[in-house]
Amino acid sequence: MSPSPIYLGVVGVGGVGTAFLSQLARFPNPPKLVLLARSSQTVLAPTPAYSNIPAVDWATAAATPSVTKTGALPAEEIATYLASAPGRAILVDNTSDINLAKSYPTFLKKGISVVTPNKKGFSDDLSLWKDIFSSAAEGNAHVYHESTVGAGLPVLSTLKDLVATGDEVTRIEGVFSGTLSFLFNTFAPASGPSNAQWSAVVAQAKELGYTEPDPRDDLNGMDVARKLTILARLAGLEVSRPDSFPIESLIPEALASLPSSADGITEFMTRLPEFDSQMANIKDSAEKEGKVVRYVGSIDVSNKAVKVGLQYFDKDSAIAGLKGSDNIISFYTKRYGSNPLIVQGAGAGGDVTAMGVAADLIKVMDRLQ
Amino acid sequence: MSPSPIYLGVVGVGGVGTAFLSQLARFPNPPKLVLLARSSQTVLAPTPAYSNIPAVDWATAAATPSVTKTGALPAEEIATYLASAPGRAILVDNTSDINLAKSYPTFLKKGISVVTPNKKGFSDDLSLWKDIFSSAAEGNAHVYHESTVGAGLPVLSTLKDLVATGDEVTRIEGVFSGTLSFLFNTFAPASGPSNAQWSAVVAQAKELGYTEPDPRDDLNGMDVARKLTILARLAGLEVSRPDSFPIESLIPEALASLPSSADGITEFMTRLPEFDSQMANIKDSAEKEGKVVRYVGSIDVSNKAVKVGLQYFDKDSAIAGLKGSDNIISFYTKRYGSNPLIVQGAGAGGDVTAMGVAADLIKVMDRLQ
């Protein structure tokens, strides 16, 4: 039997959004793309036909004569438009917009499933988390967000399977930021002592585009804290906020109050070398124990303790041996015993993040058909 | 809305089957167990009510007065019974029986989904593989078999996601046998030279229950070859048979013709020490290159080359550093670049294998509801 068509709205056409559209264009059985939006503009399939937008990228979509163009639409209007489609609908949110995330319950209650790499909504107040999942149940809709942690790596799906089949997850530990992975793998490689200065490594990473435009957005640890919040909640802990547990910031105290303007970024990068000796001391002290320092997140499920910060690791450990900007996530569980279940690989980048989104989309389509 | 009930038949109550039943008993929304079979006996919910068999294990099921007991049923009869249930049905095959596997197409054509850790059917003739998946499409049924490779580790689901989203998998490599992992991690640890004799390590593994009752069933490499066959087929290679590519057997040539009887096993174990010097030579030659020997499987997708056998690895590589009887599987893909996506952890054992089965069952139920 031929499955009924599924209607798709996509918001966000940045790095992940663009990579996602190019993967979507090669689906053997694609959903009908009926809405594509970026911050300033929206293209819509005209109603009531809801014909497919022939889009492999934003430019093609925006240049298609038959589609309707409007400015930015409020989330409520996007939800109403998708809910009116003559079949099940899915929203793919490829933004990192907290406001769009706050409207997921509106979509879900209307029966529109949500697929997204946007971690903001899932790591905000616990009340929003609960609202998202109760709205999904109410609307008989699905929420998949694999790429909110570790990009396309099978992290959330693995944790969900462990929990759903009754395993007892005791501890989750790992390197959750591609940026911080690169910084520490370069600053303190496990292969032997390095003379790299911390500020020079940060500058290099910024140059390579591995950091956010403002490197403090990586160094403050909040990105890692948001990912830990999501994992901890899936493991059953009621984490109230992403800043409700200890987070060690790598922004020197003295530079914490610099403004977030372009000038502020420049001043931060200029003054960062003043603190190289602090980071060198940490590296040396790890080295004296035959270890290396890494920036990790850990969740002690039994003791309900979540924390993010620097820790020393044996040089022959898997965490110390990470390469490039790879992530590593270790699940310690009752069934897996003393050796954890480990997932490792690139945890950032447009293509692999979009892959997690595309794979989630396929799973939701499978469930709706 | 309340989902319609799903009817479940389970065949096999050995180590995996027993662990599976105990996980099933804790499902918050379990399917209706209406058939439970072991090789000599079958218990059935009486028709037409198809009430639930209150079973957390075989003994409880068999002792329930209200259920129907028969001897072993042919697969065809089990399929007819499940197809008559007043809703969608799923067969969970917890055996390693090739004959039951050969009847999957019969189940699938009748619309009965199949969930199983039984690798026999998926690694047999390519014609059976094709028959299974075309029958599933014909019957609008699903086939999930995560635990056929790496037990509960997310191996097949990850490979399927990579392929479905259009990534190009170039190479898959790893340690796919918990038994052979233990043998080589003990015989040639990466942490430093060991005086362990090969035959003593095999005897120890046999004693610990890590090998099959006949250790030759591990040492002949066929278990690994069957797993590689499944992975290669999912990656798009048309592997005709599990013995259609090079497989290095660890059974010494001179002992290859010993009978498979209990006496044959005893003679094999008694004579194995005669060949310790051969294995010691291999270990030493790896050691001279600063490496360790491991038994691995690899699939070179681009060159359509599958092989199973001994290979040397740097001591600081992830494969060399494996612990206990862990598996490790590395996926090299276009999107993931030079650093592979790695999955690692226990790849054998009743609980973790059953976990893969239980997680698959939940996914199939989600798709049927």
- Establish if B234 belongs to a structural domain: yes
What CATH number corresponds to the domain at position B41? 3.40.50.720
Do B186 and B331 share a domain, yes or no? yes
Burial class (CB in 10 A: 0-12, 13-18, 19+), B192: exposed
Sheet holding B305-314, edge to edge: A305-314, A291-300, A169-175, A326-333, A341-346, B341-346, B326-333, B169-175, B291-300, B305-314
Q: Do B65 and B45 form a contact (C-beta atoms < 8 A)?
A: no
Mark yes or no for CB contact A339/B362 under 8 Å: no
Do A328 and A217 share a domain, yes or no? yes
Give me the interface pTM, i.e. the ipTM.
0.95
Mark yes or no for CB contact B336/A359 under 8 Å: no
Helices (H), A84-221: 98-102, 104-109, 126-139, 156-164, 178-187, 198-207, 216-219
CB-nearest to A337 from B140, B321, B346 is B346
Q: Which residues of B belong to the active site?
A: 227
Q: Do B107 and B82 form a contact (C-beta atoms < 8 A)?
A: yes
Do B286 and B355 share a domain, yes or no? no
Which pair of structure tokens corresponds to residue B271? 């004579």
Range of the domain at A320: 155-347
A77 Cα to chain B: minimum distance (Å):
26
Residues of A with CB under 8 A from a CB of B: 1, 23, 26, 140, 152-154, 157-158, 161-162, 164-167, 191, 316, 318, 321, 323-324, 326, 331, 335-346, 349, 351-352, 354-355, 358-359, 362, 366-367
A364 Cα to chain B: minimum distance (Å):
9
Do B197 and B275 share a domain, yes or no? yes
* Residue of A119, A120, A227, A283 marked active site: A227
Q: Is the pTM of this model over 0.90?
A: yes
- Could you report the per-residue pLDDT of B217-229, keeping only the tens digit for each? 999 999 999 999 9
Do A168 and A217 share a domain, yes or no? yes
CB-nearest to B355 from A140, A165, A316 is A165
Q: Do B79 and B112 form a contact (C-beta atoms < 8 A)?
A: yes
Indicate the helix (H) or strand (E) that contains B350. helix B350-368
B166 Cα to chain A: minimum distance (Å):
7
Predicted local distance difference test score (pLDDT) of residue B1? 45
CB-nearest to A140 from B1, B154, B165 is B1
- Establish if A2 belongs to a structural domain: no
Q: Which residues of A touch B367 (CB under 8 A)?
A: 366-367
- Establish if A71 belongs to a structural domain: yes
Is A363 a catalytic site residue? no
- Classified as helix, coil or strand, B328 is strand
Do A103 and A172 share a domain, yes or no? no
- Establish if B362 belongs to a structural domain: yes
Burial class (CB in 10 A: 0-12, 13-18, 19+), B261: exposed
Residues 6+ apart with CB under 8 A from A281: none
Do A22 and A113 share a domain, yes or no? yes
Do A101 and A248 share a domain, yes or no? no
CB-nearest to B341 from A153, A162, A351 is A153
Q: Strand locations in chain B, DSSP E? A: 7-11, 32-38, 41-44, 68-71, 89-93, 113-115, 143-144, 169-175, 291-300, 305-314, 326-333, 341-346
Per-residue pLDDT of chain A (369 residues; tens, 9 = 90+): 456 899 999 999 999 999 999 999 999 999 999 999 999 999 999 988 898 997 789 999 999 998 999 999 999 999 999 999 999 999 999 999 999 999 999 999 999 999 999 999 999 999 999 999 999 999 999 999 999 999 999 999 999 999 999 999 999 999 999 999 999 999 999 988 889 999 999 999 999 888 998 999 999 999 999 999 999 999 999 999 999 999 999 999 999 999 999 999 999 999 999 999 999 999 999 999 999 999 999 999 999 999 999 999 998 888 998 999 999 999 999 999 999 999 999 999 999 999 999 999 999 999 998
Mark yes or no for CB contact B165/A355 under 8 Å: yes
Residue appearing with tokens 């492999």? A56
Mark yes or no for CB contact A342/B344 under 8 Å: yes
Mark yes or no for CB contact A345/B344 under 8 Å: no
Mark yes or no for CB contact A352/B339 under 8 Å: no
Do A165 and A95 share a domain, yes or no? no
Which pair of structure tokens corresponds to residue B99? 């004959």
Do A202 and A261 share a domain, yes or no? yes
Mark yes or no for CB contact A162/B345 under 8 Å: no
Do B254 and B359 share a domain, yes or no? no
- Establish if B1 belongs to a structural domain: no
B290 Cα to chain A: minimum distance (Å):
15
- Establish if A115 belongs to a structural domain: yes
- Establish if B2 belongs to a structural domain: no
Predicted local distance difference test score (pLDDT) of residue B54? 79
Query: Which chain B residue shows the shortest CA-CA distance from A356?
Result: B161
B150 Cα to chain A: minimum distance (Å):
11
CB-nearest to B23 from A140, A165, A318 is A165
B271 Cα to chain A: minimum distance (Å):
34
Mark yes or no for CB contact A316/B321 under 8 Å: yes
Do A125 and A234 share a domain, yes or no? no
How many domains does chain A fold into? 2
Residues of chain B with pLDDT under 70: 1-3
- Classified as helix, coil or strand, B331 is strand
What CATH number corresponds to the domain at position B340? 3.30.360.10
- Establish if A288 belongs to a structural domain: yes
CB-nearest to A26 from B166, B316, B359 is B166
Mark yes or no for CB contact B161/A153 under 8 Å: no
Mark yes or no for CB contact A342/B346 under 8 Å: no
Mark yes or no for CB contact B342/A344 under 8 Å: yes
- Classified as helix, coil or strand, A321 is coil
Residues of B with CB under 8 A from a CB of A: 1, 23, 26, 140, 152-154, 157-158, 161-162, 164-167, 191, 316, 318, 321, 323-324, 326, 331, 335-346, 349, 351-352, 354-355, 358-359, 362, 366-367
Mark yes or no for CB contact B335/A321 under 8 Å: no
Query: Which chain A residue shows the shortest CA-CA distance from B361?
Result: A165
Query: Which chain B residue shows the shortest CA-CA distance from A153?
Result: B341
Distance between CA atoms of B58 and B43, rounded to whole angstroms?
9
